[in-house]
Structure 1
Amino acid sequence: MAGLPKEKPEGLDKPIVATIIKYGAKANVRAFRLTNGRIGAKWRIGAGWRKPVPVLLLDHVGRKSGARFTTPLLYLPDGSDLVVVASQGGLPRNPQWFHNLVATPDTTVALPRERARPVRARVAGPGERALLWPRLVDLYADFDELPVVDGPGDPGRRPGTPLRTEEHPWTCRSLSDRAEITDAITRYTLAVDEGDFDRLDTVFTPDAHIDYTESGGVVDTYEVVKAWLAEALPGFSRHRLHTVGQIAFDFTEGRDAAEVTAYFHNPMRISDGRGGERVVEVGGLYRHSFVRTDAGWRSRRLHEQVVWTRGF
């Protein structure tokens, strides 16, 4: 199937072209809104005929008028980010929504079954663009056929600037996810400190992988490690008191997974070998890989990284 022309077609920048794009976009937005993305969420023109491309609705505020607009755009999912291209069908200038986003980057996008996701937009840097462009062309081959245009100081440029929209860090959903993961880490410390090892079932997935080798423990599946904890910890120390400090979150896979790092301090009272006790301490990082499940957020991997010890 023929794609877009290699060279700029005559009349591409005439007002009628912009008018056609404008009213086509309005129809797309209306169908998407009315059906919550069941209609209008796939682009099936050009290279999209055989390989439909996902469409989102981008809200943006006029930098001069202050009016609110919505534009349908093809997008590339990139982890929890969404990548869009300021191509305007190959017109030799950036579209108005691009300039509006540069002026006001905090906005919302609509996806199927998600009417308003808060995001923050930014222009992809040169290094990112080099990595993103082949993926964008694989998503929609006609991106590679955008006509070459010449501009002052920018000859031979293909129109189309990739922008990355990142989920705004302080949405209700983001805060809820962070709170739920933090609660799971708290349940972990309570389970270990109180010897309630069945509570760990609410922290880990059944197929989780756990690595305690840096603190002298085992590395194995959750089932094996859980049994080892129940047997080994009571004989080592009956007085354990975890504290967890700052926690860093890096959400991936469309926010359904997260790499989580939690600082910990773990003092324990152990036998001194002479009928008394002494205190030993371990400080380090819990490195979790969390995933969203039907039962809530669960860790599918834990690596306990020991940074320092005292008293051993």
Structure 2
Amino acid sequence: MVYHLGVHATDGDRLLRTLLDNRDQLHKAGTEIVAPERHKDIFDEALQSLAGGSSTPEMEQIMLDAMLDGDNPQRVIMSTATFMGAYGRVVGREGLYPQIGRRAAALTRLFPSARTEFFVAIRNPATLLSDVLPLFAGGDYTELMQGNQPQTLRWRDAIQRLVASVQGRRIVIWCHEDVPLIWPEIIRLVAGAGPDVTLTGGSSYIHELLTDDGVAKLRDAMSSQDRLSVSRRRELFAEAIAADAQEDALDQSVDLPGWTQEVVDQVTETYRADVAEIAVLPGVEFILP
């Protein structure tokens, strides 16, 4: 059972759409993609009835029968930021994503007989909150922050809670800022697809950042390669971004109450320090660009 937890404002359903575009190929490899509308109500009802307990084998089978199309998939993938709750759950009194561990642990109890994997994108809190605040229906910036100061929002603490809660299950993490360079690897890792499985959509993310001319030049550059290694492909992606990114595609203004450039810089430095710690945290696989 594979859970892509988001987080909020990092994916825009791109991963789910890309996996669904490859549904036929993945189905042949024993993998099924379950859209949120197929599992949300089932999981909500199950978690409420379990009240912290674990599913019985009979309950597991009932849920699988209700949400799957295939008879016996070996890998089941679900992708939705709502696993982490509504936008107001991004920050709690204990900091950034205080419930990430509890929510992930609850998901492991839905199918205790299965292996469980978690995939998580993290993002600079400065840009994360900038995108989340306009979508937060519960109130204003003060309510969203729950009494926290910007400099205290630590991804390190959230991921440590996640690792402790899922008890040795696989956790794969990457930085949202790196996605244009590592998108093909993310798709393949989540899909559990080996090199023999042909997947499409690996260049879709970077194409969104480039001008039409840049997309054409990148396609020409990639097609001219006899054997395209991961490192060479990332070099081509980086060169394309540097030369042909759309205007303002890589820039984001941070417009949050009380945030000066100094605050943004401090939060960014803390985020970089947290990434360095998380990347070597036991129990975490980190996708580096």
**TM-score in same-fold range (> 0.5):** no
Greater fraction helix: 2
Q: Which has the higher strand share?
A: 1
TM-score scaled by length of structure 2: 0.26
* TM-score, normalising length: structure 1: 0.25
